[in-house]
């Protein structure tokens, strides 16, 4: 295949990185910036589309594609790992791939940072005057980390946690043994919540997993559990979480995602004393441009070689 014309919704700084990297892979390739949102009126010569999330900040794409879709696109690459930010019709046309795994280490590090902060009482122990009061800090070694979902993020997190002497128990849809030595399989979601001191939600959001962490599951939690959500807000019943925080079943919730995003002003999660809320930033790093380019360009080489694409959307 000789012609490579990429229509990209990425920022110009991202596009510049891709153009620079393309020089050594396919010097004749072109990257054309196109507007974000529902792809429409794409350049007719473009055969690859780099697509940003569409259903965000309260916007929902129409149920039907725009006239002319998919134009000349032969392959669509999503710059996100999850597919829940896109309309269903997007997956009924050309092959769609995701950036699965590109931010796995960033997300795993963020989850560990939340665990460290909770265990070491950060930032509460910083002092501002001479009134020093000593606080016993909880060790991580010997504690149990639960992981719901065991894709690239869960595997990266488990590897890092095991190196710190943390016990890891995980649950995923597949019943196959975990490839990582030291990871124990939970019997079910109730067993997972009952055993964990810290529990990270790292599962995709689907119709089957929406509100999978509900009042019943939270009631199974080890009292005082630290719940961390770095995946999707829709996995968690937020009203049930507030109840569990108030009754002490959940000791702390570190949430990087919510439903909706952003939460409306005045929402109880903003002000609850045992909630730490961040603005869906755990996947973003100073290396994001290179990380996204790595995933896309690796697949581009497969596309040029007429090989099966990796990370096909499922």
Catalytic residue among 211, 215, 280, 302: 280
**178, 170 contact by CB (below 8 A):** yes
User: Does residue 164 surpass a pLDDT of 80?
Assistant: yes
Strand partners of residue 75: 48
Tens digits of residue pLDDT in 58-95: 888 999 999 999 999 999 999 998 899 999 999 999 99
77, 198, 226, 232: the catalytic one is 232
Q: Where does the pLDDT of residue 57 fall: very low under 50, low under 70, confident under 90, or very high at 90 and above?
A: confident
Position 196 scores a pLDDT of 98
Task: Please state, in angstroms and as integers, the Cα–Cα distance from residue 256 to each residue in 93, 143, 197, following that order.
Answer: 32, 22, 19
Question: Does residue 123 contact residue 135 with C-beta atoms inside 8 Å?
Answer: no
**Can you say whether the dihedral through the CA atoms of 275, 166, 235, 195 is positive or negative?**
negative
135 — pLDDT class (breaks 50, 70, 90): very high
280-312 pLDDT, tens digit each = 999 999 999 999 999 999 999 999 999 999 999
Neighbouring-strand partners of residue 50: 8, 77
Q: Tell me, what's the pLDDT at 2?
A: 60
How far apart are alpha carbons 161 and 37 in whole angstroms?
Answer: 38
Q: What is the 3-state secondary structure (H, E, C) of 41-105?
A: CCCCCCCEEEECCCCCCCCCCCCCCCCCCCCCCCEEEECCCCCCCCCHHHHHCCCEECCCCCCHH
pLDDT in tens, 221-230: 999 999 999 9
Sorted by where each starts, the structural domains of the chain and their CATH numbers stand as 5-102+285-304 (3.40.50.720), 104-277 (3.40.50.720)
What pLDDT score was predicted for residue 3? 86
Which residue do the tokens 């810290």 mark? Answer: 198
261 is catalytic: yes
- When pLDDT is averaged across residues 22-46 and rounded to a whole number, the result is 94
- Residue 291 annotated in active site: no
290 HSE (CA, 13 A, CB side): 4
Considering the candidates 12, 184, 239, 261, report the single residue annotated as catalytic: 261
In whole angstroms, how far apart are CA 281 and each of 23, 107, 115, 300, 310?
31, 9, 16, 27, 25
pTM of the predicted protein model: 0.92
Q: According to the 3-state scheme, what is the secondary structure of 146-215?
A: EEECCCHHHHHHHHHHHHCCCEEEEECCCCCCCCCCCEEECCCHHHHHHHCCEEEECCCCCCCCCCCECH
What is the structure's pLDDT at 63? Answer: 94
Taking residues 212-237, report their average pLDDT. Answer: 98
Number of residues that this document lists for the chain: 314
Residue 133: CB atoms within 10 A of its CB come to 6
**280 tagged catalytic:** yes
Question: Tokens 């849809």 appear where?
Answer: 173
Percent of the chain, pLDDT > 90? 93
Does residue 250 surpass a pLDDT of 70? yes
């Amino acid at each position: 295949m000789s012609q490579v014309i990429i229509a990209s919704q990425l920022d110009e700084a991202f596009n510049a990185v891709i153009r620079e990297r393309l020089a050594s892979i396919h010097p004749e390739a072109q990257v054309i910036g196109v507007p974000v949102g529902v792809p429409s009126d794409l350049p007719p010569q473009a055969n690859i589309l780099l697509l940003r999330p569409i259903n965000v900040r309260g916007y929902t794409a129409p149920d039907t594609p725009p006239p002319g879709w998919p134009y000349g696109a032969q392959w669509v690459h999503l710059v996100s790992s999850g597919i829940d930010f896109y309309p269903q019709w997007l997956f009924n046309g050309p092959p769609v791939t995701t950036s699965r795994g590109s931010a796995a280490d960033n997300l795993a590090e963020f989850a560990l940072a939340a665990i460290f902060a909770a265990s070491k009482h950060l930032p509460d122990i910083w002092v501002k005057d001479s009134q020093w009061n000593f606080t016993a800090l909880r060790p991580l070694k010997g504690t149990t980390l639960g992981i719901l979902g065991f894709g690239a993020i869960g595997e990266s997190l488990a590897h890092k946690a095991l190196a710190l002497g943390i016990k890891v128990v995980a649950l995923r849809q597949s019943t196959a043994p975990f490839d990582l030595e030291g990871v124990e399989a939970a019997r079910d979601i109730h067993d997972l919540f009952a055993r964990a001191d810290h529990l990270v939600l790292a599962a995709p959001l689907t119709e089957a997993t929406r509100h999978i962490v509900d009042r019943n599951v939270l009631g199974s939690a080890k009292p005082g559990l630290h719940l961390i959500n770095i995946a999707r807000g829709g996995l968690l019943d937020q009203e049930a979480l507030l109840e569990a925080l108030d009754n002490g079943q959940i000791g702390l919730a570190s949430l990087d995602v919510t439903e909706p995003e952003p939460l409306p002003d005045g929402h109880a999660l903003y002000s609850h004393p045992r909630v730490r809320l961040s603005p869906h930033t755990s996947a973003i790093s100073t290396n994001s441009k290179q990380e996204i380019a790595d995933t896309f360009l690796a697949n581009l080489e497969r596309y040029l070689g007429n090989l099966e694409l990796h990370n096909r959307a499922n």
